[in-house]
Amino acid sequence: MNRTLLLIICDFLLLNLLALTRWEKAEPPRAKQAPVPELAANAVSKDQDLVELMRQSLADEKAVRDELAQKLAASDATLAAREQSLGQLQAERNRLADEKNAVTATLTEAQRAAAELNRKLGSATQEATLTKEQLAQLQRELADKQAEAERQKLALAALEKQQADARRQIEGLTMAVVVSEQEKKNLRETAESLKGQVALERTERMKVQETTVQLAQGVGQLAEKSGELSREIRENRPINANVLFHEFGANRVTASFAAARKGFLGATNRTKDAATLLVNDGKQVYALVHLADTVFSLNENGVDWETITAELSRGGARSPAAALTFLRHDPRIVAVPVDAAQVAALGAKPYALAADPFKFPEAVLIDGGGRGYGEVGFKLDPSDPAFVRVDNRLFKRIFGDFAPKRGDLVLAKTGELLGIMVNSDYCALLKDFSPAKTIRTGADVREQATGAIFEDLIARLRGMPLKLQ
């Protein structure tokens, strides 16, 4: 029980006891005293003092209870806030776990696809070797068939000569039939023998004709193999760097970006243009740029943008972009999806991704702004097979005043796109355009929470090896 309440009860009981006690019976009568002065009669009685004391105690008790109630309400509010924060932390933990599982599944699929590609590459190499061996074998067989045909031709000529001689002999025997019956008999026997030889010659001639048909078919197959071999030789012939740069200039597309948002220090408005190419991964056409060539940066805090727009142009043709895709391969690579109608309107040739990026040990590096180009060697990095290291010191030929930097395009000597420079040393080998994050452009993009998207991209970049950042 509360001590203050206990004191109040005790005081109340004491007052009742005092009020109910007959003090005139308990004490002997006292001597008469002088009348009380008027001032003493008007003084506050003891009962009033006790009542006032009880009222004050009750007021103190109420104040203490009110203070305890306020503390209890504050504690309840703090507990509710902590429970809400705990729920949010648990939800964030579940979301991160789901993203981790998704990334693990994607990595497993990518490893399986890489193993399948290696298997197909080995099979294709073996088939190419067998094709060359079969061609050599066919050439040898054709030479043998041609020699056999020549021998058959000589034999046929000899047989025709023998047939002509036999015909002359038949004519001579016919003229001499009147001379002797014996000679006639001999002529009949000779004629029968000659008929057998003629039938044999006819059979041999048919065989020679069949052999000639087979040889003609072999020559046709050899011609087809020779055509395939010529096409393979053309595909394995490197394209001159001047030709590749000329094609880049003819098919260059300008990507324009704009973004706006409001902040504590005022409104922020950014615009930027970048020169790039259209690239086809077999499913979709994209315009490819580096994040540094856009209005965004991964060095900023995740503040939401309010407006994001993008546009592709070439010559007088302009086409708005509906979305921006940040690749799973590297968050700094931005791919702008382009549909078939936009490709036709822009009139630029989409480049294909390099099917065999390591066919030639050198590539052509083109400055992102088109200021220069040069032939450069590149090396594989066993620790990061999705990237190659570009040897900046060993430019064979440099055209234009520039140094390799992030955003430069790298073309294979086959005329296909090898990748894009993510920094001054490493080039990302592009196999596909799998997205990590996508932002839809428009006049109001606040509901997409772009700040959180860029925070995720920053985390992905920081998780990459330091040499690739």
Between 298 and 17, whose confidence is greater? 298
Q: Has residue 201 got a pLDDT over 60?
A: yes
User: Which tens digits make up the pLDDT trace of 65-124?
Assistant: 778 778 877 777 777 777 787 777 777 777 877 777 776 777 788 788 778 877 887 776
The model's confidence at residue 38, banded by pLDDT at 50, 70 and 90, is very low
CA–CA–CA angle 102, 106, 107 (5° rounding): 115
What was the pLDDT predicted at 56?
84
Distance CA 168, CA 186 (A): 15
pLDDT in tens, 235-285: 667 888 889 999 998 999 999 999 999 877 788 899 999 999 999 998 999
pLDDT at 36: 47
Q: Is 17 helix (H, G, I), strand (E, B) or coil?
A: helix
Percent of the chain at pLDDT above 70? 84
Give the span between the Cα atoms of 370 and 20, in whole angstroms: 113
Supply the pLDDT for residue 41.
43
The pLDDT tens digits of the residues spanning 172-199 come to 666 666 676 787 787 778 778 888 888 8
List the alpha helices (DSSP H) in 1-45.
Answer: 3-20, 23-26, 38-41
Please name the residue that has the structure tokens 């259209």.
278
pTM of the full structure: 0.51
Q: What is the pLDDT of residue 455?
A: 92
What is the distance between the alpha carbons of residues 324 and 329, in angstroms, rounded to a whole number? 15
**In the structure, what pLDDT confidence band is assigned to residue 439 with cuts at 50, 70 and 90?**
very high
Please, are residues 360 and 376 in contact by the beta-carbon 8 Å criterion? Answer: no
pLDDT of 130: 64
Over 80: is that where the pLDDT of 39 sits?
no
- Is pLDDT larger for residue 207 or for residue 220? 207
Residue 439 is inside which H or E element, if any?
Answer: strand 435-440
Classify each residue of 330-339 as buried b or exposed e, where b means 16 or more C-beta atoms within 10 Å of its C-beta: bbbbbbbbbe
Q: How confident is the model at residue 371 (pLDDT cuts 50, 70, 90)?
A: confident
Report which of residues 140 and 300 the model is more confident about: 140
Identify the H or E element spanning 135: helix 46-175
Question: Can you give the length of the chain in residues?
Answer: 469
Grade residue 447 by pLDDT with cuts at 50, 70 and 90.
very high
CA distance 167 to 397: 80
Task: For the chain, give the mean pLDDT.
Answer: 81
> Which ranges of 236-285 would DSSP assign to H, the alpha helix?
241-251
Asked if residue 364 lies in contact with residue 375, where contact means CB atoms within 8 angstroms, the answer is: yes
Summarize the confidence of residues 394-399 as an average pLDDT. Answer: 51
Write the CA distances from 394 to 4, 319, 330, integer angstroms.
Answer: 93, 39, 26
CB 19 within 8 A of CB 47: yes
Query: Is pLDDT of 307 > 70?
Result: yes
